[in-house]
């Protein structure tokens, strides 16, 4: 019978798959309240070193779990949605009523959400159990989660290394087996790069697949929300829950595809693109290159056809991104005015001085840099030198992809040129930007990309991800290829140091 | 490295974006911004003659209208919940005219 004591004998729920949890609920091996309690109970200790969570949401979790248990008791479990009973946590730029939504910034340290983001709302409506909010680079500006105002998240595979970023907490929480599913957001690689560093599946869907309503904006023409999971199926189930038109985000599109539908189809007959220039890129480490080649060979052995494609303008993506991103961030971060919400420095006699002090204290270094850079790039005379050409380059990059997709169904590339780096190893901002060299062009063009774990690098012994890129609104293509890679490499493991813990310990 | 911005320029930008920087911060920000702007050089070297810009990844966006009917929204109290300072159901700010001085 159901009992918390029984549940404590099981593997931690955060280390289970969606289907395992739902099977246990259906067979009454445990209750949803057991799942919520045990998942929450494990976090203080299991997350002490990793520091993925900024806040846990006990009451919301227990309330959601109680509703699920009622539904199970009444025989309505099948009506509860695809994530019924699954613990889920959210990047801290996603509003959830009653929680702090800090963006890991001192600016929003005390901001309590008065509403809920659509992506969050949809996971809860699908039966998810909200466990908490996750650490990130401040306002998503970064690739290491080191710029969080509340301290960095550590990589569960090696606590001396970064988890990547900006969705570092979202990746680390899944890699450490704290929860099976998290949501992150990706503006230039912020889902895919940390997924690669932490050895989990991370999906940046095509721009417009998931509503951005209620997600604190960084680059409004680049931002997209997506899931982290340890299996392709769990990620696809989450996509089913969050995708589709939302009248509160006019850029969100009608999406009717079932993302789990083609996972068992394998890759025979698929055409998979390889980009020779990416494979020879300066800075790509031999161990990552070897893993991409290995993955390509495995896909070919399963019947896929490898086709060389060129993305000649992708090399311009980096500079286009570091023009467009800061310009959009400058505009979006103007709203933090110390009057309606956010940090307000006390004691000023005039409003101008209050603005300047509040924004100077509220924003960290990288946020300040991007705001000021964006302001400069949009100023008269400078606009024509950088911003306008960056939007023209965007046309060229989009055309590159369209041309490539005449020949292939999916493209295979590295995610990050290297595995996770050590804290402090990359201090200079322009070098940090290079960790997004393979991911950025996808945000510029707007199509979908994901990171798929393919085991450990031969030199560092750390997780390596390969990037799968799909044509716009054909995200299911990359999920199909990912599922085939998962057959070869197995479902992503929980990081070894985190894998031993039992529920409730 | 090219000097795209002087410290004087950076002070002017800081004032425009309402971020108060001290002298030391202006100095390091000037160095950082110049390095970053240098790294953007490739964007200025492309032959983009006749290339149309793409301002948004979804090109055929249309304006979406709905019926003009009343819908509930935040109550005033909710909108004020996160205000650092409020008074008489309003956001409270220091004086914006004259000598300043809070009530």
- Write down the residue that tokens 């690669």 correspond to: A196
Tokens of A398: 């989009």
User: Which class does domain B7-44 fall in?
Assistant: mainly alpha
Question: What per-residue confidence (pLDDT) applies to B57?
Answer: 81
Residues in chain A: 505
Instruction: Give the distance, in angstroms, between the CA of residue A500 and the centroid of all CA atoms in the same chain.
Output: 25
5-34 in chain B: CB under 8 A from chain A: 5, 9-10, 13-21, 29, 32-33
Give the separation between CA A4 and CA A1, rounded to whole angstroms: 10
What pLDDT score was predicted for residue A187?
97
B48 contact residues in A (CB cutoff 8 A): 389, 392-393, 396
DSSP A89-152: EEETTB--TTSB--TT-GGGTT-B-SS--HHHHHHHHTT-EEEEEE--SGGG--SSSTT-TT--
**CA–CA dist A398, A441 (Å, integer):** 9
Catalytic residue among A17, A148, A166, A185: A166
User: What's the confidence (pLDDT) of residue B60?
Assistant: 67
Q: Evaluate whether A342 touches A111 at the Cβ level (below 8 Å).
A: yes
- pLDDT of B33-89, one tens digit each? 999 999 899 899 999 999 999 988 876 666 777 889 998 888 999 999 999 999 999
pLDDT given for residue B2 in this prediction: 84
Does position B102 have pLDDT exceeding 50, yes or no?
Answer: no
Q: Are A187 and A324 contacting, i.e. CB atoms less than 8 angstroms apart? A: no
What would the DSSP string read from start to end of A261-300? TTTTS-STT-EEEE-HHHHT-TT--HHHHHHHHHHHHHHH
> What digits encode the pLDDT tens for the residues A170-224?
999 999 999 999 999 999 999 999 999 999 999 999 999 999 999 999 999 999 9
Which stretches of A142-191 are assigned E, i.e. beta strand? Answer: 181-186
Q: State the DSSP string of B28-85.
A: HHHHHHHHHHHHTGGGGSS--TTPPP--SSSTT---------------HHHHHTT-SS
* CA distance between the termini of chain B: 51
Burial class (CB in 10 A: 0-12, 13-18, 19+), A209: buried
SS3 B95: coil
Structure tokens at A323: 């023009």
Q: Which residue has the tokens 């707007």?
A: A446
A91 among known catalytic residues: yes
Q: What are phi and psi of B67, to 5 degrees?
A: -60, 140
Domains of chain A: 1-505 (3.90.1300.10)
Q: Which residue of A has its CA nearest to B21?
A: A360
- Of the residues A17, A31, A91, A291, only one is catalytic, namely A91
Using CA atoms, how far apart are residues A16 and A35, in angstroms rounded to an integer? Answer: 11
User: Active site includes A416?
Assistant: no
**Nearest neighbour of B85 by CB, restricted to A207, A344, A356:** A344
Position A2 scores a pLDDT of 46
| B56: CB partners within 8 A, 6+ apart | A221, A251
Given a cut of 50, the residues of chain A with pLDDT beneath it are: 1-2, 502-505
Question: Within 10 Å of residue A137's Cβ, how many Cβ atoms?
Answer: 33
User: Among B8, B17, B45, B61, which would you mutate to test the A interface (most chain A Cβ atoms within 10 Å of its Cβ)?
Assistant: B17
Tens-digit pLDDT profile for residues A131-145: 999 999 999 999 999
Q: Measure the CA dihedral B13/B16/B20/B25, to 10°.
A: -10
In contact, A387 and A327? CB cutoff 8 Å: yes
pLDDT of amino acid B63? 72
Report how far residue A43's alpha carbon sits from residue A47's, in angstroms, rounded to the nearest whole number.
Answer: 5
**Which residues, 6+ apart, have CB-to-CB distance to A231 below 8 Å?**
A17, A201, A486, A491, A492
Cα-to-chain-centroid distance, residue A392: 28
A270: tokens are: 């698929």
Q: To which residue do tokens 């948004």 refer?
A: B56
The confidence score (pLDDT) of residue A505 equals 33
Shortest alpha-carbon distance between residue A435 and chain B (Å): 14
Q: Phi and psi dihedrals of A87, rounded to 5?
A: -65, 135
Query: Which candidate in A190, A231, A451, A476 is catalytic?
Result: A190
A215 strand-pairing partners: A94
Q: Do A429 and B32 touch (CB under 8 A)?
A: yes
- Our CA angle for A378, B61, A406, nearest 5°, is 100
Residue A210 DSSP one-character state: B
Contact (CB, 8 A) for A183 and A88: yes
Q: Kindly determine whether residue B40 and residue A330, on different chains, have CB atoms separated by under 8 Å.
A: no
pLDDT, position A7: 53
Residue-wise burial string across B55-90, b where 16 or more C-beta atoms lie within 10 A, e elsewhere: ebbbeeeeeeeeeeeeeeeeeeeebbebbbbbeeee
Does the annotation count A331 as an active-site position? no
In degrees, rounded to 5, the angle at the alpha carbon of residue A338 between the alpha carbons of residues A334 and A339 is 105
Query: A171: which 2 tokens?
Result: 């990746």
């Amino acid at each position: 019978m159901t009992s918390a004591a029984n549940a404590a004998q099981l593997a931690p729920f955060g280390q289970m798959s969606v289907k395992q949890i739902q099977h246990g609920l259906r067979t009454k091996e445990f209750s949803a309240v057991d799942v919520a309690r045990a998942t929450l109970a494990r976090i203080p200790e299991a997350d002490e070193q990793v520091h993925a969570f900024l806040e846990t949401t006990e009451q919301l979790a227990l309330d959601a779990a109680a509703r699920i248990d009622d539904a199970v008791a009444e025989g309505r479990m099948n009506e509860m949605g695809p994530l019924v009973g699954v613990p889920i946590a959210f990047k801290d730029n996603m509003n959830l009523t009653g929680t702090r939504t800090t963006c890991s910034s001192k600016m929003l340290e005390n901001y309590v959400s008065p509403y809920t983001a659509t992506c969050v709302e949809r996971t809860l409506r699908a039966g998810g159990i909200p466990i908490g909010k996750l650490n990130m680079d401040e306002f998503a500006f970064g690739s290491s989660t080191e710029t969080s105002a509340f301290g960095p998240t550590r990589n569960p595979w090696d606590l001396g290394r970064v988890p990547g970023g900006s969705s570092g907490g979202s990746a680390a929480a899944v890699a450490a087996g704290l929860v099976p599913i998290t949501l992150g957001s990706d503006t230039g690689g912020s889902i895919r790069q940390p997924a690669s560093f932490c050895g989990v599946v991370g999906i940046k869907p095509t721009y417009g697949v998931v509503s951005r309503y209620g997600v604190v904006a960084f680059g409004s023409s680049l931002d997209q929300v997506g899931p982290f999971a340890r299996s392709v199926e769990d990620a696809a189930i989450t996509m089913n829950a969050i995708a589709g038109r939302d009248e509160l985000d006019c850029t969100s599109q009608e999406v009717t595809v079932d993302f789990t539908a083609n996972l068992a189809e394998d890759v025979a007959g698929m055409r998979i693109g390889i980009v020779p220039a990416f494979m020879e890129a300066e800075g790509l480490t031999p161990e990552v290159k070897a893993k991409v080649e290995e993955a390509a060979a495995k896909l070919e052995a399963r019947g896929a056809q490898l086709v060389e494609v060129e993305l000649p303008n992708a090399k311009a993506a980096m500079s286009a991104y570091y023009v467009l991103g800061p310009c959009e961030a400058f505009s979006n971060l103007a709203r933090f005015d110390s009057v309606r919400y956010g940090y307000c420095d006390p004691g000023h006699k005039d409003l101008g001085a209050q603005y300047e002090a509040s924004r100077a204290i509220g924003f960290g270094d990288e946020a300040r840099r991007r705001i000021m850079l964006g302001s400069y790039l949009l100023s008269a005379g400078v606009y024509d030198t950088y911003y306008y050409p960056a939007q023209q380059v965007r046309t060229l990059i989009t055309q590159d992809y369209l041309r490539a997709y005449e020949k292939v169904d999916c493209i295979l590339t590295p995610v990050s040129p290297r595995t996770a780096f050590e804290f402090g190893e990359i201090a200079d901002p322009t070098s940090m930007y290079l960790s997004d060299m393979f991911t950025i062009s996808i945000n510029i063009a707007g199509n979908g990309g994901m990171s798929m774990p393919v085991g450990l690098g031969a030199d560092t012994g750390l997780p390596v991800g390969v990037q799968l890129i799909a044509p716009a609104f054909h995200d299911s293509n990359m999920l199909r290829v990912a599922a085939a890679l998962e057959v070869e490499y197995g479902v992503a493991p929980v990081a070894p140091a985190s894998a031993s813990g039992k529920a409730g310990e | 490295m090219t000097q795209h911005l002087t410290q004087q320029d950076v002070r002017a930008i800081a004032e425009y974006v309402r971020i108060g920087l001290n002298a030391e911060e202006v100095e390091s920000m000037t160095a950082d911004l110049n390095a970053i702007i240098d790294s953007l050089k490739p964007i200025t070297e492309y032959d983009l003659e006749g290339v149309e810009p793409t301002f948004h990844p979804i090109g055929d966006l249309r304006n979406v209208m709905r019926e003009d009917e009343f819908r509930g929204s935040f109550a005033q109290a909710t909108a004020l919940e996160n205000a650092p300072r409020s008074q008489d159901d309003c956001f409270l700010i220091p004086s914006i005219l004259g000598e300043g001085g809070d009530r």
